[in-house]
Structure 1
Amino acid sequence: MALTRLALRHFRNISAAELSLCAGANLFCGPNGSGKTSLLESVHMLATGRSFRSRQHKSVIQEEATGLTVFAQLDSGYSLGVERLADGNGRIRINQAPAESSSQLASCLPLQVIDSESFSALDGGPGVRRRLLDWTVFHVEHSFAQAWKNYQIALRQRNALLRRGKIDAGLLSVWEQRLVESGLQVDGLRQQLFTELRGALLALTSELPQSPVSRVELSYRKGWRKEQELLAALQESREGDIAQGHTRVGPHRADLRFTVAGEAAQNILSRGQQKMLVCALRTAMAELVCNHRGRPVFLVDDLPAELDETNQQLFAQWVSRCASQVLVTGIEVEATSRPWRQLPSPWNNPQVFHVEHGCISAEPSAAQ
C-alpha cells in the first residue's frame, strides 16, 4: 500500500508539488519552516481527510488561496483525492468517485505517524491510547467500524436522555440494551486484537535488553469492572450518570496501561526510553495490519531530533520489516539517511528530496 505519485496544491506554504515516490524510504530534507512537515501532513489528509496538526481546514489552506487539493496514486491501484475549500466545503474521491466518509480513505491507506505529538501516548489521556488500539482493530477487523458507529449512536441517545429533567425509563432501557449489544462487540474485537498487539510489542521491546523498556508490561482496561456485566455496570452507574449528565462506564472509557514492575511506565522510563516504547508500540500496530491486511505507510517527522543514532537504526529496522514505505523528514541529508542506508534493498537506496521555501525537488538517487 505505497504511494507512487503525490500531487498537492495550496497546502500551507507549498503552492504546487508533484512527486514520484519509491518503495522503501523517501527522505525530505531542508531547513526548518521549509515545508517538510506540510508534505507529511498532506499525506495524512489523504488517509484521514484531515491534518494531524490542525482540525481547522482553513488554517492548512495557503494564504489567499480559495482551497487546497491533494491527490495520490497507490501501488494497489487506488487513486485518492481530497479537496478542502476555505468556505468549509470539500470533496473526497476514491478512484475518481465520491467517497461516503473519510473512513474509506483510511481503509485504502493505513498510515502510522511518528512526530513529537506521538510521544504523548504514555502521559496523555486514555483517549489517546484508546485511539491507538482502535486504529489497529479498524484496519484488521472490518466489522469494527460499524460496531463502533452503532455504539456511538446509542451512547449519544443515552446521554441525551440522562440530561432530561424527567427520564423515560422504558426508552432508557431500550438504548441501554443497544449500547450493551454494540459495546460488547466493540470490546470483544478490541480484546481479541489486544492479545496479538501485546505479543508483538513485547517481541520488539525484547530487542532492547539493556533498557527498562524491555520490562514494560501492557494491559487492557475495558471501561468497566472486569468482573461485572456491562448492563449491570450501566444500571449501577445510572444515578451518578444522571447527576453528571453523561455515561461514565463502557467501551468509550477503555484504556491501555503501560507498567514496569507494577509502576506506571512514565514514572520509570526516561524521555528517550518513552519515545522508543511508543515507536515499538506503533510498529507493533503496523505489524498486525501487515499480517492481516497489507503493509502500511509510515510518516516520520524529524527522526534525528527525536531518537539517538542507535535507536534510529533499530527503529529503521523495525519499520523495514512491516512497512511498504516511509516518508521521513530531517534537516541534514547525511543524518537523515544514515539509518536507512544500512538496511537491505530497497531501503538502503532512499529517494532524497530537497525542500526549501515550499519548493520540493528530487535529488538523483545513488542507483542512477
Structure 2
Amino acid sequence: MALTRLLISNFRNISHADLLLDTGVNLFCGVNGSGKTSILEAVHMLATGRSFRSRQHKSVIRHDHSGLTVFTQLDTGFNLGVERLADGGGRVRINQAAAESSSQLANCLPLQLINSDSFSALDGGPGVRRRLLDWTVFHVEHLFAQEWKNYQIALKQRNALLRRGKIDPDAIGIWEHQLSQSGEQVDTLRRSQFEQLRAAVTTLLEELPPSLLNRVDMSYRRGWRKEVELAEALRESRDSDLSQGHTRTGPHRADLRFTVAGEPAHNVLSRGQQKMLVCAVRTAMAQLVCRHREKPVFLVDDLPAELDDHNQHVFAQWVGRCASQVLVTGIDEGTTSRPWRQLEAPWNCPKVFHVEHGNISADASAA
C-alpha cells in the first residue's frame, strides 16, 4: 500500500501540486508556514474525508476559492478523490465511482498519523484512546464497522426517547435490544484486538533501555460493569439515564488505561517517555494490521520537534518494519532525514521535496 501520485488543488496555501512519490520515505522540508504540513493534511483527507487540523472544510480551502480537490493513485490499483466546497458540498470518489461513506476511504488507505496532537492520547479524554483501539479493530475485523454503525443508530434512538422525559418501556426496550446485541459484539471484537495490541506494545517497549516505560501496563474498560450483560446494565441505568437525558452505559463509554504501578501513566512518565509510549502504541496498531492486510502509510509531522535523536532513530526502526510508505515533514533536511538514512533500503534513500510558500519541488540530487 503506497501512494504513487498525489494531486492537490486549492488546499490551504497550495494552489496546485502534482507529486510523484516513492515507496519508502518522502521528505518535505520547509520553514514553518510553508505548506509542508498541509501535504500530510491533504493525504489524511484522502483516507478519512477530513483534515486532521479542522473539521470545517471551509477553513481548509484556499482563500478566495470555492473548493478544493485532492486525488491520489495507489499502487494497489485504487484511485481516491475528495472534493470539498465552501458551501458545504463536495464529492468522494473511489475509482471514479461515488463512495457511500468515509469508511470506504479508510478501508482503501490505512493511515497512521504522528503529530503534536497524537501525544495527547494519555491525558486526553476516553474518546481519544478509544479511537486508537477502534482504528485497529476496523482494519482487522470486517464485522466491526457494521456492528458499530448499528450500535450508533440504536444509541441515537434511545437517547431521543430519554430526552422526551418519559420512558415508554416497550419503545425503549426495542432499542435496548439492538444496543445490547450490537454492543456485546463490538466489545467482543475490541477485547480480542486489545489483548494483541497490549502484547505488541509490551514487546516494543522492551526494546528500550530500562526505565519506567518498561513498567507500563495497559487495560481495557468496556463501558459497563463486568458482572452483568449489557442488556441488564441498560435496564438498571434507565432512571439515572433519564435524569441525565442520555445513555451513560455501553461501549461508547469504553476506555484504554495506561498505568505505571497503578498510577496514571501521564502522572508518572516524563513528557519524552509519554511520547515514546504513544509512538509504541501507534506502531503496534500498524503491526496488528500488517498481519491481516497491506501495510499502512505513516504521516510524520516534524518528528525532530517531538523526540530526541535516539528516540527518533528507534521510532524510525519501528516504522520501517510495519509501514509501506512514510511521508515526513521537517524544517531542516539533514536533521529530519538522519534517522531514516540510518536504516536499510528503501528507507535510507528518502525522496526530498522542498516546500516554499505553497510551492513544492522535488530535489532529484538529494537521494
Match of 2:127, SS? Answer: helix
The equivalent residue for 1:55 is 55
For 1:276-320, what per-residue CA distance to the aligned partner results, in whole angstroms no more than 9, with x for missing partners?
000000000010111111100000100000000000000000000
Find the counterpart in structure 1 of residue 195 from structure 2.
Answer: 195
Structure 2 residue identity aligned to 1:276: M
Counterpart-to-counterpart distance in 1, 2:68 and 2:259: 43
- Partner of 1:51: helix, strand, or coil? coil
Where does 1:1-368 land on structure 2 (aligned, <5 Å)? 1-365=1-365
CA distance in 2, matches of 1:53, 1:150: 28
CA distance in 2, matches of 1:193, 1:184: 15
Kept after mapping to 2: 8 A contact 1:349/1:365: no
Q: Which runs of 5+ in 2 are unaligned?
A: none
Q: 1:209 Cα shift?
A: 3.0
Amino acid at match of 1:247: T
Q: Using the TM superposition, give the Cα deviation of residue 165 of structure 1 relative to its aligned residue in structure 2, in angstroms.
A: 3.0
**TM superposition shift of 1:366:** 5.0
Equivalent pair of 1:350/1:365 in contact (CA under 8 Å): no
CA distance in 1, matches of 2:250, 2:334: 49
Equivalent AA in structure 2 for residue 159 of structure 1: N
Q: What letter is aligned with 1:142?
A: H
- Once the 2 structures are TM-superposed, how far is the Cα of residue 163 of structure 1 from its aligned partner? 1.3
**How far, CA to CA, are the matches of 1:117 and 1:165 in structure 2?**
39
Q: Distance in 1 between matches of 2:317 and 2:111?
A: 18
Q: Percent identity?
A: 74
Conservation of the 8 A alpha-carbon contact between 1:24 and 1:346:
yes
Q: Displacement of 1:166 after TM fit?
A: 2.5
Give the SS at the match of 1:292.
coil
- Aligned to 1:249, the other structure's residue is in SS state coil
Counterparts of 2:366 and 2:271, CA distance in 1 = 36
- When the two structures are superposed, what TM-score results if normalisation uses the length of structure 2? 0.99
The 8 Å contact of residues 198 and 218 in structure 2, kept in 1 or not, is answered as: yes
- Alignment TM-score, normalising by the size of structure 1: 0.99
8 Å contact kept, 1:303–1:336? yes
SS in structure 2 at match of 1:224: coil
The whole-number CA distance in structure 2 between the counterparts of 1:319 and 1:125 is: 26
User: 8 Å contact 2:4–2:22 — kept in the other structure?
Assistant: yes
Distance, in Å, in 1 between the alignment partners of 2:134 and 2:284 is 13
SS at match of 1:344: coil
